[in-house]
Amino acid sequence: MPTPFNFDPTSVAFAADPYAVYAKMRGQDAPYYWPDLDMVLLSRYADVSQIAVNPAMVRSLKGVRSDAELEAEKRKSGFADMPFHERFVQTNLLDTDGAEHERLRRLIFGAFTGRGVKHLEIFIQAYVDALLSKAPHGLSFDFIELVAAPLPGLVIGRFLGIPERDAPQLRQWSEDIVSYYDVDKTPEKKAKAEAAVKAFHDYLIDLKRKRRASPKDDLISQMIMQEADGLFRKDELIATCMLILMAGHGSTIDVIGTGLNSLLNHPDALQDLRDDRSVLPTAIEEMFRYEPPLPFFHRHATEAVTLRGHKFPAGTTFGLLYSAANRDGNVFPDADAFNIRRAPNRHMAFGRGAHLCLGNQLAKLNMRILFNALCSRFHVMEFAGNVTFKPGLSTRGLKKLPLIVK
Ligand code: HEM
């Protein structure tokens, strides 16, 4: 297949505006073949949705390829020779399919529903109030460092059962693990990722021992009981805890930052939200649509599939560009406009199909509480400097957000 333009998601230009590149991709007749990762990138909403909901399009190649082929692919993609990572990060419910995936997902599903996360509301409010009270009035500070970064560790920690004093450590572990998923894999990143998994593993083993002796009202205590009943098998409990941290930590930091950035870039929207707080739920959905923090996931085709008349054989790997789908003008009128009253807003920031984000209710709860508090507490919120995005394809977030509040 010809490569009509050079796609470089590590470039500064891409970080500054990936949406211009995605618009180009969506405009092409055939889905874009990306030779670097031997992958077909899907950018139109209908294409992404079709593949995401198709059970024959899987996350894991287990059962599709022989063990030797799997090992060879692991080597090629840089995921071999990292024993802890292979056991606890590469093997989890996000990377299983079919009945195995359903079994693991069902075990923790209840904890993630709107009702399941409701008890966290009071804690999130307290964390938000404490963090915002540290913001210096009238002086410049980095909103990412002071507010966005510490919040998810506290919330996920409380949810899982990790004591507050240990929450700051979660950030480093999750950053080190997640950064090895992006396209620019270096030996340093690999070593850091493996070390972080080992350290978090050791921490969780210790926490498990403590909670077994004295259970609490938290997810890890629930999972320990499920493990004792034989519902979680070897390594699955630890792998599930790691997935929750990896999936939920950096993504929440990033969307808090980009959400505020979007509002500050659209003062009328910010004023609208200040004046009418009932807009908050649709405003939060729009923040997720406009700048999804996890823009890119993959699926492997276990059977041939046709997209808009283009045939792809079994064995094709698809890249699902959820963020490109979210700007598809065929689904979202005036798709590049940030419209906090957008309805309907069936964005794909949380994916679609069997792997739909388990943490979506928790993520939205965090955002609602935080943005409500920001609007109530500060009558002025202004940029105090330039905002730059981190480079990369798998995540989208700000390096810094210099802010002044009054
Ligand atoms: C903050 C914004 C978040 C976004 C945008 C997001 C996005 C996503 C997406 C797109 C997927 C599907 C991956 C795929 O299609 O292959 C996913 C899966 C998942 N997310 Fe999230 N996520 C967020 C927050 C969270 C949080 C806070 C948690 C947990 C505390 C979490 C836990 C999970 C889990 C466990 C899965 C795997 C579900 C499965 O495989 O069945 N996420 N997330």
Residue position matching structure tokens 């699926």: 299
Position 4 scores a pLDDT of 62
Q: What is the per-residue pLDDT for 300?
A: 95
Residue linked to tokens 């359903």: 102
What is the C-alpha R_g of the chain? Answer: 21
DSSP 148: I
Give the three-state DSSP class for 177: helix
Rounded distance, CA 393 to CA 240, Å? Answer: 24
Residue-wise DSSP of 170-205: HHHHHHHHHHTTSS---HHHHHHHHHHHHHHHHHHH
Atom of ligand 1 nearest to the CA of 105: 41
Distance 33 CA to ligand 1 centre (A): 26
Nearest in space to 292 (alpha carbons), one of 245, 374, 352, 382: 352
Q: Quick one: which atom of ligand 1 is closest to the CA of 156? A: 30
What is the strand order of the sheet 296-301 is part of? 32-34, 39-42, 317-321, 296-301, 57-58
Ligand 1 atom with the smallest distance to the CA of 354 is 41
Q: Which two tokens stand for residue 69?
A: 């082929």
Q: Please tell me the distance between residue 137's alpha carbon and the centre of ligand 1 in angstroms.
A: 35
Q: What 3-state DSSP class applies to 79?
A: coil
So what's the pLDDT on residue 184?
A: 80
DSSP 8-state symbol, 37: G
How many other C-beta atoms are found inside a 10 Å radius of the C-beta of residue 308? 11
Residue nearest (by alpha carbon) to ligand 1 atom 17: 357
In tens digits, what is the pLDDT along the chain, a chain of 406 residues? 445 678 999 999 999 999 999 999 999 999 999 998 899 999 999 999 999 999 999 999 887 788 899 999 899 889 999 999 999 999 999 999 999 999 999 999 999 999 999 999 999 999 999 999 999 999 999 999 999 999 999 999 999 999 999 999 999 999 999 889 877 889 999 999 999 999 999 999 999 999 999 999 999 999 999 999 999 999 999 999 999 999 999 999 999 999 999 999 999 999 999 999 999 999 999 999 999 999 999 999 999 999 999 999 999 999 999 999 999 999 999 999 999 999 999 999 999 999 999 999 999 999 999 999 999 999 999 999 999 999 999 999 999 999 999 9
Query: So what's the pLDDT on residue 49?
Result: 98
- HSE at residue 203, side-chain half, CA atoms within 13 A, is 19
140 CA distance to ligand 1 centroid (A)? 33
Ligand 1 mean position to 345 CA, how many Å?
18
Pocket of ligand 1 (CB under 6 A): 59, 93-94, 105, 156, 243-244, 247-248, 251-252, 255, 292-294, 297, 322, 349-351, 355, 357-359, 362-363
Sign of CA dihedral 74, 77, 83, 86: negative
Judged on CB neighbours under 10 Å (0-12, 13-18, 19+), 202 is exposed
Q: What is the DSSP letter of 65?
A: B
Minimum CA distance residue for ligand 1 atom 11: 357
Contact 281, 302 (CB under 8 A): no
Residue 212's pLDDT is 96
The answer to whether 287 touches 255, Cβ cutoff 8 Å, is yes
Angstrom distance (rounded) from CA 180 to CA 194? 9
Mutation choice for ligand 1 from 219, 357, 361, CB with most ligand atoms inside 8 A: 357
Are residues 101 and 91 in contact, defined by beta-carbon separation less than 8 angstroms?
Answer: no
Write the CATH number of the domain with boundaries 12-405: 1.10.630.10
7: helix, strand or coil: coil
Residue 359 CA to ligand 1 center (angstroms) comes to 5
- Identify the pLDDT of residue 26: 97
Q: How far is the CA of 294 from the centre of ligand 1 (A)?
A: 8
Residue 149, Cβ density class (10 Å: 0-12 exposed, 13-18 middle, ≥19 buried):
buried
Please, how many CA atoms are within 13 Å of residue 386, restricted to the half-sphere of its CB?
Answer: 3
Q: Looking at the DSSP assignment, which residues form a beta bridge with residue 297?
A: 320
- Tell me how far the alpha carbon of residue 251 lies from the centroid of ligand 1, in angstroms: 8
Give ∠ CA 76-78-81 in degrees, rounded to 5.
110
Question: No. of H helices and E strands in the chain?
Answer: 18, 12
For 43-179, strand residue ranges (E) read 57-58, 141-142
How buried is residue 309: exposed, middle or buried, by Cβ count under 10 Å (0-12/13-18/19+)?
exposed
Report the amino acid identity of residue 144. I
Which 8-state DSSP code applies to residue 391?
P
